[in-house]
Each structure stands twice: as C-alpha cells, then as structure tokens.
Structure 1
C-alpha cells in the first residue's frame, strides 16, 4: 500500500494512486485505534474527490465504533471549531488546501483540536493503517451537525460589532470554500462585498486557489483599484489562510500582518503574550513591546506554534506564511478572524490600510522569502554561520540559523520536505542595506554550495 501521502503535519497526495476511498476507510479505523475517540467531527473541502473520501473515512470511523458528526462542505477551521466548541474527541478535515486539483488529503486533530502530527501520533497511525482490523461490537452512528450559527457568532464575538462602519471589501474565494462563509457574515456586517471567483467549484476554473503565487494576485489587486475598495482579501482553498491587499491594490507581505494583528489584539486585551516565528521578527517585537505585550519566538510550523501558545497562554500567534492562530479559537489557525480584526482596526482608526502598513515597511524593510535548491542544505547553513556568526550580535537556532547585527539580520532555514533553503533578510529602516545584504548572502550561498 502506497502511504506516501503521510507528511510531517498532515496527509496530501494524488487521487487515486496516493489517496483513495480504500485507504481513507483504513485511516478512519486506525484513527479510532490510535485515539480511542468516540465522537469525531468530519468535514470536507470543495474538491471533486472529497465527498467520496469523506464517506469512506466516516465508514472506517463507524466500523471502529466511533460516532461521526458530519459538518459537510466546510473549511479546515470549521472542523477545528466544531471539535473544540462541542467537546468532541477529535476531528478530521478532508482537504489538500492549495495543492493541484487532482490531489486530496486530511488534517487530523484530537480533543480540544490539538493537532496530530508526525511527532505525536501520525506516524503511528500510518503504520497501523496496514491492519488487521476487527469491527467494533457496536458500529458508530452518523449525524449531520449544523454549526453555522455558532461558528458565525463566535467569529463576530472576537470583534466589536458596534465599532464597525461601512467598508467596501473585495473578496476572492478562488472558487474554494470561503464564499458561503462570507455570505453568512455579510448578513451581519455593514460592509459592501465585491465577490470574485465566489462559487465553490472543485474544477478550479480560475486555477488552484493559492494567493502566494504572484500570478494569482492580479485579479484581486485590479478589482480593488477598479472598485475603489478599502481593501482586498484572498483565500486558499480551505481558507485557513487569508492574504491582504491595501486600497492601492498592493499585496501585503504576511510579516507585516502579523505585527498589525498582534498590535490589535494587545490593544483590545490590554497586554499578553504573542508567539511569532523566527524568520522575520523585528517589526513584530517592536509593536508587541510598544503595546505592552511580550513577544516569544517559536519554531515555524503549526504544531509547534499551537503547543507554545498553550504553554504560554498566548493571545495570538502568527507566521509570515499567513497562518494566524488565536487563543479564543482553540489556539487554532483561522482565515476569517484576521480580516475581521483588520477591518475593525480600519473602522476604529479611520486610517487606510496602506497608511498602517507603510510605516512598518519603512521601519523594517524585508526581502520576502527567497528559496534556493541546494545539494546539502545542512552543510550550506553551517558554512553561512561560519562566515557571519563570529561578528554577529547574536546567533540563534530556534529554527534554522538566525543571525543578528546592529542594523540588519537574517534567517536561513531548510525545508522539511525538499532540498531547499529559505532566506529572509530585514534591516532597521535601511532598504538599501537590506538589498545589499540580501545579494551578499545569495552570493555567499552560491559559493558555499559549490565548495
């Protein structure tokens, strides 16, 4: 049996050779064997293969004795929400997020929507999938669970509805699952929505929804300018990430959104802890300190950040990859809460999104993430540390290599899944220095890769 769909944090693979109904049914049985869950939430995204895979998964769960609470077509965050809000034993979302349309996958959680990853059970589940299995003495039952009202109320409970005023917002669901949630929110909000690629469609007629790809951004940016909108928002397929465009149609790097959301939460809560990844940090640290909070650095990856947030009772955690985590959302990531908080800030401040972001870009210009394929990522990172570490103010290894100087810093880390290194560089208010050091590092990396 091909089990290559099992990854570090979830399952992803081509249908039907890497993931199919037979394997999905076995995963359901193995999940109950592993967790002893009695009540499991199951949801699925808009991919054409998702209903069949979800049905097979549910059959396996029920054969192993678990009751299935089917929330139907949804986003990943709704499985997280339902699992925690209704005190279920676990939840499984059938999704491949932004992967090609012939792929599918699963994201698995336990009680309180705690992630099940390779370091805490996913590898054991993979090994258990081979069987053998025995049916439970009593099969589980299946029940449709309608969560929309509770979910929408919970989202809106995180913002001050009374502070919201009319805004014009371009929303691009990318034919993924975000459209129905926007429609439900629209009935409660004073915003005018300009809808793009709004209908869920697993054929992905406008391409796979992945706003991180530059070629996918133009349609949202152009609509913001054409409509005179206050901002634009685009989501990936299962809308656990959202991406922002200001009123000028400019795509905003996720790094600056992390700082904005941290600042907004600390203003609302009067202080607290904020978790951030090590790739780009100075802007976030600066804003958190100014707002009376404490910034805590954590290894990149949702399982690491969610656990650290629980350990620290942190209000919010953010990654520059557009994953945003919230204490009051079971410490899970959401693609809906971030834009609601940004809209709240625009209404409260009367400022434009560009004016909020421009000052931060000027204070801490950043390179954006630069990826390079190399033969030996670990050796390359060691070579760069040898070159830059001796004269640095500090050197850290929370995630890859972080090196800080007085006026600039960088992080160089390797991918978990491919022979790639990822570079991020930032400076203190000096865009020329940031660009100079970025080119210098890329040259050093190229030379080190040849040695």
Structure 2
C-alpha cells in the first residue's frame, strides 16, 4: 500500500472527522498496523452508537484478520465493555471504535493490549501510526477469523460484585444516556436492583437529536436537572457517549463537581478496605488525602491522564483511582475506568449512611471549597505558567511540578496546567474551609494570568 499521512492519532487514542481524517481505508490500515506492532493472537472489538461505527469496526477487523489475528466481536458497546472483555476473556488486545463525546461527524478508536493495559503515545500508539502510514505490511501464514463473543452477562455480574444488593434502598434515580450507549446497560442491570429508574434521552441514536452526549457542557445538564426535580428523584446520573465517564446530580438537581465524587468513591472503598491505597490527580487533592488518612490509608498522587493513573495504580496496587474529570479507575476492573461502577457505589453509600447525596457532599464542599476547572485560551501558556510561578512560589509551603504547576500555602492551593488535548490552560483552586478566600484567590490568579499574557 502507498504511504499516506494519518492525522487522527492523539496522545491517548484515535479521534478524527469522518471521512477526511478517519475512514474505512484508514481503519483497515490501523488494524493491520495494530496486528504487526502489538502482535496479538486474538483481539476483541466493539463499536459505539455512531452511524459510521459499525462499518469502521468491520474495516478494522478486516485489517486485523489480514494481519493474522482472530477477531472476537462483542457488537455495540461502551469502551469499558471492551476493557472488561479483553481481561475477562484473556484476549491479546482490545479496540473500541468510539468518538465518545466528540461531534457527531467524528469517530475514533481506543486501544488496549493484553490484560487491558493501555496503549498510548509512549507505549506503542505512535508505532501503530507510523506502521499504518507506511503501508508496508508483513505477509502472514494464515488469515485470522471473525467470531461473535458474548460478554455482557459476565460484565453485568462483575458490576454487581461491587455492591451488596441487599443493602441497597429503593432509590429513585434519573439516568440520562444522552442517546449514547449507557441505556443498554441500565436496561440489562435494572431487574437486578431495587431502584426505580426514570430514563431521559435513553435510546441509542447516532444522530444525537438532543445534542452530543457531553455532560461537562452546562447546556447539556438541564434535561437531567429538570427530570430530577420533576420526579423528586434521589439522584441523577448522566454519561458521555461511550459511558466511560459518569456525572452526578443531587436530589436538588445540583451538579456535583467530580473532585467530591473522587472523595466519595475513595471513602466507599476504604470503609470496607481500610489501609488500601487510592490514587488521585494533582489538580485538587486535600479532600481526597484527608479522607484517605482518616481511613488509615495513603492517597498517592499521579499525573493527569488515564495511562499515568493506571501505571501508578498497578505499581502501588491501589484499589481505586479517580480524576476530577469524571474518570474513575478500579483495580478489580483491570485497573480501567468505568462509568457504571461509580454510581452503584454512591447509591450504596447513600443507602448505608441513610443520607442524601447533598448531605454526603455538603460537608466536604464546606471543608474544601474549590473553583472547579477554569479553562483559559492563552497564546504562550509556558510563559504565563512561568510568570505565575515567579509571582506565587515565594513563601509557599510547597511548589510541585508533577503535572503543571502546583503551589500550596497553609490555607489555600492551586494547580495550573496545560491541557494534553486542547490549546488551553486549566486552573483549579481550593482552600481549607474558606470559600471567600478561594474565590478571591481564583479571581486574583485569573487577573494575573490575563495581565501576564499581555
């Protein structure tokens, strides 16, 4: 095959506009390249609900089979179902055809190798890109075969293993799949749980009639809020398209910052497993660390990003890892992220404590108020971060560069980092029980950054 340039490879996955950046020819090449670089005997594949996904998956599968790989197809699924099937079925690798929360004319792929270990830019992804672009593929002795593979029943059983169903109260829960893939899993698990589900934008629809499923966008949250209030629900949950992230709303329809969800999940595990380690990202840390220490545990810091979190979790044998961006990772889920396990654990914590979701988080929010992540588009982000460090490092208790710049004082701290995927700088500020101070310092930092940027 002739050489071509492929522009859809990113730091952690493949994402591109269809058909100019990603199409069936490129998908075929990626399949051949994955087979040649990773050298698996078997690969499990699946696709999300996008209109182009099934055809893209079949082109990918043909590339894998022409590379001598036996391909096992689980059909329409979420990314975490590929993670589960890969480890559960002892496959040599797994590929989900998905563009998650990207616009509807996009598609993409997420890759793992054996045991659902991540494949990212520093662990083989760019080797796959180079091989796919080059188009020089080895001859193989025997073409692989395509076989169906059923993993959902084992996956549902695994999800239920994280909770004691007998402890769960009959909560009323609003679910918003955003017309993505999460609805199918709710339907499959519903009969096993005592919950009363009220389903919003539930049916999978690749046309995305209610907008692209991305609950981080404030305009996408209102349907969930309205349903929680109308139904007098105990909790609302919304997912992105491939449901590897989930977002929470309390009984008042209030959106819960992901930082406090990390604390809830850490606490949920450590109540049953005191002394186990949990992992967190460097953006907001004090709440998670205090909850870990109060449960005789250690909270370990990791760079932001799934490949880093998973690597630290494996090396520390951590039971749970969380990012405030709503990615939650579980040791017993092959150290991978899941958007289904978190809400089950939160529902169990509400049931055990006899508390509403707002009661569970309000105390922590008062103790460690935070700004939430504030994004600023800046022409020269490195210069601005350097200027912020020069201004704020003096007199600080600590200055760290684990991921961007983290500066801590006795009663407040902040993290400022460049995005891995977008041309923006992200600011997070938190304080110790002083919301007025947190807001003042947030405004002060934003004004300083604007001035420094010229």
Contact 2:86 2:114 in 1 (8 A): yes
For residues 254-301 of structure 1, give each alpha carbon's deviation from its aligned partner in whole angstroms, at most 9, with x where no partner exists: 000000000000112122100000000111111111112100111000
1:96 is paired with a residue of what secondary structure?
coil
Cα distance in 2 for residues equivalent to 1:384 and 1:270 = 39
C-alpha separation between the residues in 1 aligned to 2:303 and 2:192? 37
Work out whether residues 323 and 334 of structure 1, in 8 Å CA contact, stay in contact via their aligned partners in 2: yes
Q: Distance in 1 between matches of 2:218 and 2:5?
A: 33
Match of 1:209 among 213, 232, 243: 213
Cα deviation code 1:199-244 (max 9, x no counterpart): 0000001000000000000110110011010100000000000000
Residues 45, 177 of structure 1: 8 Å contact kept: yes
- In the TM superposition, residue 419 of structure 1 has moved relative to its aligned partner by 2.9
| Superposed displacement of residue 135, structure 1 | 4.1
Match of 1:370 in 2: 374
Aligned to 1:237: 241
Q: TM (normalized to structure 2)?
A: 0.98
Name the residue aligned to 2:320: 316
| CA apart distance, 1:390 | 1.1
SS of 1:176's partner is coil
**1:183-222 paired onto structure 2 within 5 Å:** 183-222=187-226
The answer on 1:298 being equivalent to 2:312 is no
Q: Cα offset for 1:438?
A: 0.5
Aligned pair 1:31/2:34, yes or no? yes
Query: Deviation string for 1:334-369 (max 9, x for gaps)?
Result: 000000000111111110000001001100110011
Aligned equivalents of 1:348, 1:391: Cα separation in 2:
44
SS in 2 for 1:19: coil
2:100 to 74, 97, 100: 97
Q: Would you say the 8 A contact 2:36–2:138 is kept in 1?
A: no
Q: Within the alignment, does 1:354 sit opposite 2:358 as a pair?
A: yes
Paired position in structure 1 for 2:284: 280
Name the CA distance, whole Å, in 2 between partners of 1:79 and 1:416.
24
How far is the alpha carbon of 1:137 from its aligned partner? 1.8
RMSD of aligned residue pairs (Cα, Å)? 0.7
Cα displacement string for residues 10-64 of structure 1 (whole angstroms, at most 9, x for unaligned residues) = 0000000000000100100100100110110001000000000000000000010
| Residue 133 (structure 1) aligns with | 137
> Residue 133 of structure 1: CA displacement?
1.8
Alignment of 1:382-393 (within 5 A): 382-393=386-397
Which residue is 1:337 aligned to?
A: 341
SS of the equivalent of 1:252 reads: coil
Structure 1: how far apart are the matches of 2:138 and 2:419?
A: 39
CA displacement at 1:3 relative to structure 2: 1.2
SS in 1 for 2:192: coil
**1:395-406 equivalent positions in 2, closer than 5 A:** 395-406=399-410
**Does 1:43 pair with 2:79?**
no
Distance of 2:95 and 2:53 partners within structure 1 = 12
Match of 1:16 in 2: 19
Once residues 378 and 252 of structure 2 are traced to their aligned partners in structure 1, the CA distance between those partners, rounded to angstroms, is 37
CA distance in 2, matches of 1:55, 1:85: 23
C-alpha distance in 2 between matches for 1:415 and 1:180: 32
Deviations along 1:162-204, one digit per CA (max 9) or x if unpaired, are 2112110000000000001001110100100000010000000
In structure 1, stretches of 5+ residues that fail to align are none
CA distance in 1, matches of 2:65, 2:389: 52
Partner of 1:63: 66
Moved over 6 A (4+): none
Report how many residues are paired. Answer: 450
Residue aligning to 1:178: 182
Distance 2:114 2:137 in 1: 23
> Any idea what SS the aligned residue of 1:52 has?
helix
Which of residues 63, 86, 89 is equivalent to 1:86?
A: 89
- Quote how far apart the aligned CAs of 1:150 are: 0.3
The answer as to whether partners of 1:2 and 1:18 remain within 8 angstroms in 2 is no
CA shift for structure 1 position 134 = 3.9
Counterpart Cα distance in 1 of 2:313 and 2:391 = 34
The match for 1:226 among 200, 208, 230 is 230
Which of residues 379, 398, 404 in structure 2 aligns to 1:394?
398
Mapped partners of 2:152, 2:83: distance in 1: 13
The whole-number CA distance in structure 2 between the counterparts of 1:78 and 1:249 is 29
8 Å contact from structure 1 (residues 2, 17) kept in 2: no
Q: Is the 8 A contact 1:408 1:425 kept in 2?
A: yes
Shift, 1:126, TM fit: 0.4
Helix, strand or coil at the partner of 1:109: strand
